Amino acid sequence: MQKLIKDLIQKNNTKILLIVLDGLGGLPVNGKTELDIANKPNLDALAIQSACGLHIPVAMGVTPGSGPGHLSLFGYDPIEWQIGRGVLEALGLGVELKKTDVAIRANYATIEDGIIKDRRAGRIPTNESRKITERLQEKIRKIDDAEIIFALGMEHRFAIVLRFPEPLPQGSASIKDTDPQKEGKPSINITPETPHAERVARIAERLISSISEAIKNDPRANFILLRGFSQVPDIPHFEETYGLRSLCIATYPMYRGLARLIGMDAPAIKGDIKEEIDLLKKSYNDYDFFFLHVKKIDSYGEDGNFEGKASKIGEFDKLLPEILSLNPDVLAITGDHSTPSVLKSHSWHPVPLLLKSPYVLGGTCKAFTERECIKGELGIFLTVNLMPLALANAGRLKKFGA
């Protein structure tokens, strides 16, 4: 599909804005979803004018991670382009990755008598985790022939890069996560899944041991969990594929990392939705495509906080008129996946979408909810088809064939 679209691209001056309300979709509690109860008059009014539908990030019944969900939104087949979270996290934290690197996503955790008591170390403040991470970098610089690079994230999150003196064979990062995904269990042993991964696995084992010894007396962050062992893929760039100068606006590192991987500009910013909108306004004349990411909706869903998730949707809705004042030629508002509060996790459920442009039917939905979006003109479709739809509505695709 990408090759076909690339051949049809034509440039113009239109602006495309993709807003990702992370984990947007939900499931009902007492008959209503988070979108049903959210105070969102602006989203509801916009849905009436827009093409609405539901999209499937990977395939029916498949629960997507954030990486595949976003890749799909950008028009990359997530089955063809499988990118590890470690690479995304490290890129997002500003580490310039090389072909010699293995990147790992890490969490500080709390362990007691070999059992994980808190997988996120009580979501320790970033300032506290910064001190720990800096101490580790001073203490652990090399294991065998691998340079060790620590990169601070937000709260309990950070990234680790193992930099080898030469490029590693593909499969060298095929190592199971050590995170058991639930409290009350021991961490999972480092397990290489290919012969090529054995060298990296040995270093990872020593790394865990060294870090654990260094932080064992911390009251909360006394252990680490490792996820997303990965190497840098060779993926087509967004501008080369779609002819769009693109800007990522995201406060969380992983999403900036994915954007940088495909060639988007992704400056580091702090704050919340208001700061993101300020950057959008400031940069509006300099780019053709904007990806604006709102994280906390997903966070409340994962915490099982139904009302909190609905409230965060309402908070975005209050700021939506500021975005609409820019009058983008094409505006898409959706999520990268569903995160129902009742499941406290990502899910396989299709994700609500509205797409506003002068060239949609509109008038098929009365509100922006899961049930209303089912009635929309876009139906239920694969997420990877959203970019071609946005490009077509922006007048950026030529006719195919005679």
Residue 265 has pLDDT above 90, yes or no: yes
- Is 184 found in the same domain as 166? yes
- Is 215 found in the same domain as 177? yes
What mean pLDDT is predicted for residues 373-400? 97
Name which residue leads in pLDDT, 292 or 96.
Answer: 292
Q: Which of the four pLDDT bands, split at 50, 70 and 90, describes residue 220?
A: very high
- Is 172 found in the same domain as 70? no
Residue 402 has pLDDT above 90, yes or no: no
Let me know if residue 196 belongs to a domain.
Answer: yes
Sign (positive or negative) of CA dihedral 21, 25, 26, 32: positive
Residue 208 has pLDDT above 90, yes or no: yes
Asked which of 230, 253, 282 is the last residue of a domain, the reply is: 230
- Is 388 found in the same domain as 263? yes
Q: How many domains does the chain have?
A: 2
What pLDDT, in 10s, does the model give residues 176-206?
Answer: 999 999 999 999 999 999 999 999 999 999 9
What mean pLDDT is predicted for residues 96-114? 93
- Is 239 found in the same domain as 224? no
What pLDDT, in 10s, does the model give residues 281-305?
Answer: 999 999 999 999 999 999 999 999 9
What mean pLDDT is predicted for residues 48-53? 98
Residue 82 has pLDDT above 90, yes or no: no
Let me know if residue 59 belongs to a domain.
Answer: yes
- Is 256 found in the same domain as 377? yes
Containing structural domain, residue 268:
2-80+235-393
Residue 59 has pLDDT above 90, yes or no: yes
- Is 249 found in the same domain as 377? yes
pLDDT on residue 278 = 96
- Is 76 found in the same domain as 95? no
Q: Which of the four pLDDT bands, split at 50, 70 and 90, describes residue 26?
A: very high
Burial pattern 75-84, b for ≥16 Cβ within 10 A else e, equals bbbbeebebb
What mean pLDDT is predicted for residues 50-65? 97
- Supply 1's token pair: 């599909």
What pLDDT, in 10s, does the model give residues 142-159?
Answer: 999 999 999 999 899 999
Which range is least confidently modeled, 87-91, 359-363, 384-388? Answer: 87-91
pLDDT on residue 279 = 97
Side chain identity at 397, as an amino acid letter? L
- Is 269 found in the same domain as 337? yes
Residues written for the chain: 402
Let me know if residue 361 belongs to a domain.
Answer: yes
Task: Say how far apart CA 343 and CA 169 lie, in whole Å.
Answer: 38
**Burial of 285 (C-beta count, 10 Å sphere; 0-12/13-18/19+):** exposed
Let me know if residue 13 belongs to a domain.
Answer: yes
* Averaged pLDDT score across all residues of the chain: 95
Q: Which of the four pLDDT bands, split at 50, 70 and 90, describes residue 230?
A: very high
pLDDT on residue 154 = 86
CATH number of the CATH domain containing 341: 3.40.720.10
Q: For residues 392 and 80, is the Cβ–Cβ distance under 8 A?
A: no
Let me know if residue 370 belongs to a domain.
Answer: yes
- Is 242 found in the same domain as 388? yes
